[in-house]
Structure 1
Amino acid sequence: MDVPFAADVLDVDLLQSAVPESDRQIAVAALVSGKVCLIDYSDLHRSGSSGTKVGERNHVEDSGRPGHDAAAAGKRKRSVNRSDERNTSRLYSKAWTVKSGSKSCRAARFSVDGTSVFAIAKDMSISRIDVQTGSVLQEWKKAHDAAPSCILPISSTMFATGDDDGVVKMWDARVPTSSLHSGIGNAGSRSSVHSWSHHSDWVTDMMWRSHLRAPMKLRKDSKHKAPPQDEEIPSESRSRLICVGGDGILSVIDPRAGKKGVECSADQEDELLSVRAIKGGDKIVVGTSLGPLSIWAPSKGLLDHVDRLAGHPASVDSLDVLDEDTVLTGSSDGLVRVVQIYPHKLLGVAADHEGFPVERALHAGDWLASIGHENFIRFTSLKDLLDGSEDEGTDEDAEVQGSGDAASSSGASDDSDAEVSKSAKKEARVTATLKQASMPEASSNFFDDL
């Protein structure tokens, strides 16, 4: 299902199911017109089978579409077929629309508690908007000297931003700015909590880890340096902000250490566009402008990547974690792919934007939301894919219970065989699900050059 807008969509975020309002399925869109729009798709969620399924294409008319020319693709506009719009408009509603800045709204994100939306605009401002009413609660005017490029909520009150000049800032919403309700302070009168300028080009993406695994050497040293009995090690002692940028640098920031708490990787000689953690944080996946996914291991330090997955024919602008072994990649060739990490394999294509670069793709529950250089959000159902995963887990539990004492006596070799079997089952399940959706056939040589 496509949700159309009057202007191009630059960003989308979904309210994750872990927050208190999990019964309400909502999304927020940042528009090039400078507006922020809240969409309620609860009816679509309840309808189950309605909407676009994995791999299906919506019936969309393209007025004067000039083939697959890349330059023209970025400029052309598409309109949703009127009959389709009438059929699907009942499955969603636009709760409110608010102007967040005088220029385009570049990104919008739900706060961690789901009660507000943080939005950044090209006019260098930041806004905090109430989810229920759409009223602007706080504004930070001239928050950056350059246009902010990304924003990341860290807690219910803390968030981080990055800009086109490579500056990273951390903010605390509890610090008074311009509260339209209380009138405390002037807009932009309060500065950020922290600021770093170690990147030389735009900050493309950020990720917060409440506990980043320490390099092996540091962990060994800590064993020999036991703390005094009356001293406790805080659980958040390894909280880190991880940033990637157009300068080819991955940086790790310890906010408590101030300006000195920054570690930078070697120059990757490629723009780093997206970053996510998998395997319980043991591995970090980074999307690049040339296409390969680079794999980083915190246990070995983050000076350089430890592995690369070639195969994407174009840049990977967006990453989303489907599970601990699988990611969704949004690429500038218009495809949202399902990629398995260790063992590396392309499992299929989840959504297709017909040549429009995928700027962002993420899922919440059974639904995938993706945007391109277009004036709509595409919702794709992942129910068949995710239900298969649950069934697989049930089957595995039954196998373990039925194995009895024989399983415990089989040793490490059986554990290894079980892992291989689990991976093979998952690959077969996902591949079958994607094939059943009648989607475009994935390239057979996706990972041939590994």
Structure 2
Amino acid sequence: MDIPLTSDALDIAFHPDPTTTIIAAGLLSGKVQLIDYSSTPTSPANFKKTLTLRPSIKSTRALAFADNATLYTASKDRSLFAIDTHTGVIRSHWANTHAAPPSRMITLDSGMLVTGDDDGAVKLWDPRLPTTSASTSSSSEGPAAKKTKLSGAGSTNVVQPTTATPVRTYTHHFDWISDLLWCNHVAPPRSAQSKGKKKAAEQDNDDAAITLRSRLVCTSGDGTLSVIDFRQGGSGGAKTEGEGKKVGSVKGVEVSEDQEDELLAVAAVKGGSKFVVGTQLGTLSVWAPTRAMLDHVDRIPGHPASVDTLCPLYDPSSTLDNDVVSRFAQDDDVLLTGSSDGLIRILHIGPPHTLLGVLADHGGNGMPVERIRRKGRWVASIGHESAIKWSDLADLLDGDSGDEDEEEEEGTKKKMKMRAMGKDDSDDDDDDEEEDESDEDDDSPGEPVSKPDEDDDSDSDSDSDGPSAPRAEAPKTKAAQLSKGIAKGALLAPPTAASSGWDDDEDDERSNKRGKKGGVKKEMKGQDQANAKRAERAAFFSDL
């Protein structure tokens, strides 16, 4: 289901209050819209736009809720705005906050604000600090406005722009900040340069000792990941320069080695002990702070295009204890990934790493998934379109819909499965023909059909053609819970993959399908053919 908007959405954010059903959208036109989804969303008419403001004539590129009443927005003209969501009044307007347009924004538990811009600068702001009157100096975006007139709820709000001083400024990145992640109770990253100093500090009970505390994780288009500890980064409003210095030379900052690929998104898994990063080439990289952050420790291939956004399926703020989703979503090892091919995939971070299915499709054809946000049972996502795609997580775990046997729906599921595995629809035509021939041979009169071996680890409930056999106990793990729901027909999942990824060889996939459909006899036949090919290959190379 799509929520129509007046222009393309660049960022979205759910209201932090678990009982408040509001989502905010920042638009390309500069408008900020608040949408109420309190009515059960069954059609676009159920969504009500409660507030529409236009803080700037330039696009609203990022936004974030600070508390139950304040929404911060960042515009392309380098301005930051604080909006009272209850009254629709603009509380403050900070002008010329960055040298380049802001690209990302998050709020911290303390009420402070972090922004990143297109030049790689990261700044920490404290809204409680006093501001000064802003000058009308010119910039690449034009002269700063002397006054900002905003209309909403039938009244006009005039805001005087002011200048705020950041608490911290970091410039160790030289390209745009693609994502920001605030992590609580994270161990400091270890590097070869600073390992000895930190060990000595730990023995001396110094503040630089290895302790679990909050840190900021940044990803950048320059191909590096950094971890910032605000408690060690300079004093007052002093600027901490990092560009041009060696890795680890900036106090309170650890920067990874160059990954030779744009890092686009980051999310924490396994209780914050690991980070998953999306890249331009489509490979997910896994980072472990306790094992050094200078480079990744694992890679997860499989996405055929860039991974632009990540969203943990686990929502610690959810209080919907009676909801079906809350019983299964208390596991932060499951991620929603948004790719430039338009699909939102569900991935379990292992090992083994497993693709569980596809949640939504933005249509492909150059329609990427730029942002994914989750609250309770609802998932909102945006791309290059004037709409918010609305998905229900309950569909993952619901039973049969009654329509899954229809030919049209089966065809849609099949196409989505092939796209999720990075293949064209035509790639599976030959498989279907061979499978049909296999079914005719194995289901001939007088020939009993053997069941697949129960000890085969490659078998999956989601791949079985018939109804699943009842289980004595419900699955205990999150991945098993989702796999069970997908097997019931809510989603179409590819075969369970090995830890290296799920984009398996086409020949291996065809062999697996034959084995599952044709039983033990067909599986043995396939094994004999494989052994024969190996023997021919060995003989060929022995003659060289």
Which range, TM-score by smaller chain? 0.7 to 0.9
Q: Distance in 2 between matches of 1:246 and 1:352?
A: 26
Give yes or no for the alignment of 1:225 onto 2:240. no
Please tell me whether the aligned partners of residues 27 and 40 of structure 1 are also in contact (alpha carbons under 8 angstroms).
Answer: yes
Matched residue SS, 2:265: strand
8 Å contact kept, 2:396–2:491: no
Letter in 2 for 1:331: S
Alignment of 1:49-448 (within 5 A): 50-51=41-42, 87-89=43-45, 91-111=46-66, 113-177=67-131, 187-214=161-188, 221=199, 225=203, 227=205, 238-258=213-233, 259=240, 260-323=251-314, 324-342=332-350, 343-355=352-364, 356-385=367-396, 426-437=478-489, 439=491, 442=494, 447-448=502-503
Aligned-residue offset at 1:118:
1.0
AA at the equivalent of 1:241 = L
Give, in whole Å, the separation in 1 of the partners of 2:261 and 2:228: 21
* Cα deviation digits, residues 248-282 of structure 1 (max 9, x gap): 01011111222322110000000000011111111
Amino acid at match of 1:26: I
Judge conservation of contact 1:215–1:299 (CA < 8 Å) in 2: yes
Tell me the alpha carbon deviations over residues 86-119 of structure 1, each in whole angstroms, 9 at most, x when there is no partner. Answer: x431x221110111212011111111x2321111
Contact 1:349–1:434 at 8 Å: present in 2 too? no
Answer yes or no: is the 8 Å Cα contact 1:329–1:336 preserved in 2.
yes
Per-residue CA deviation, residues 209-263 of structure 1 (Å, 9 max, x unaligned), is 2321245768994897274xxx999998632111000000101111122232211
SS across alignment from 1:3: strand
Q: Describe the shift of the 1:221–1:331 C-alpha distance in structure 2 as closer, same or farther (beyond 3 A).
A: same
Q: Deviations over 1:323-377 (max 9, x none)?
A: 3211000111000110000120000001111111001112100001011111111
Q: Distance in 1 between matches of 2:263 and 2:77?
A: 25
Uncovered stretches (5+) of structure 2, i.e. residues with no partner? 134-147, 149-156, 234-239, 241-250, 315-331, 400-472, 506-544
Offset at 1:422? 9.5
Alignment check: 8 A CA contact 1:202 1:245 kept: yes
Secondary structure in structure 1 of the residue aligned to 2:374:
strand
Cα distance in 1 between the residues matched to 2:207 and 2:227: 24
Q: Between Structure 1 and Structure 2, whose CA radius of gyration is higher?
A: 2
Q: Return 165-174 or 250-259, whichever deviates more.
A: 250-259
Q: Say whether 1:36 aligns with 2:32.
A: yes
The letter for the 1-side match of 2:95 is K
SS of the residue aligned with 1:377?
A: strand
Q: Deviations over 1:382-408 (max 9, x none)?
A: 1244789xxxxxxxxxxxxxxxxxxxx
Amino acid at match of 2:362: H
1:186 CA displacement: 6.2
For residues 285 and 441 of structure 1, what CA distance do their matches in structure 2 show? 21
* Distance verdict in 2 for CA 1:279–1:94, change over 3 Å: same
Instruction: Please give the alpha-carbon distance, in whole angstroms, between the structure 2 residues aligned to 1:193 and 1:155.
Output: 16
Answer 1 or 2: higher relative contact order, Cα 8 Å, separation at least 6. 1
Alignment deviations for residues 122-146 of structure 1 (CA, whole Å, 9 cap, x no partner): 1111111111122111111111110
**Misfit runs of 4+, over 6 Å:** 216-220, 231-237, 421-424
| TM-score, length-scaled by structure 1 | 0.74
CA distance in 2, matches of 1:39, 1:234: 46
CA distance in 2, matches of 1:270, 1:156: 33
Structure 1 contact 126–141 (Cα < 8 Å) conserved: yes
Provide, for residues 403-428 of structure 1, a one-character-per-residue CA deviation record: whole Å limited to 9, x for no partner.
xxxxxxxxxxxxxxxxxx99885434
Distance, in Å, in 2 between the alignment partners of 1:372 and 1:224 is 46
Mark the CA change 1:195 to 1:3 in structure 2 (over 3 Å): closer, same or farther. Answer: same
Change in 2 beyond 3 A, CA 1:35/1:285: same
**Alignment length, in residue pairs?**
366
Structure 1: 5+ residue stretches without partners: 45-49, 52-86, 389-420
* SS class of match (2:39): helix
User: Kindly, what percent of the aligned residue pairs are identical?
Assistant: 46
Q: Deviations over 1:282-320 (max 9, x none)?
A: 111111111111000011111110000000011111111
CA distance in structure 2 between the partners assigned to 1:423 and 1:194 by the alignment: 47
Q: Quote how far apart the aligned CAs of 1:206 are.
A: 0.5
One-letter code of the match for 2:203?
K
Give the structure-2-normalised TM-score: 0.62
Shift of 1:43: 1.1
Are 2:281 and 2:306, in contact at CA under 8 Å, matched by a contact in 1?
yes
Following superposition, the deviation at residue 177 of structure 1 comes to: 3.4
Structure 1 residue identity aligned to 2:23 = A
Pair 1:381–1:173, CA change in 2 (3 A): same
Comparing both structures, which one devotes a greater share of its residues to strand?
1
The secondary structure found in structure 2 opposite 1:257 is: coil
Query: In the superposition, relative to structure 1, how do residues 218 and 313 fare at CA in structure 2: closer, same or farther (>3 Å)?
Result: farther
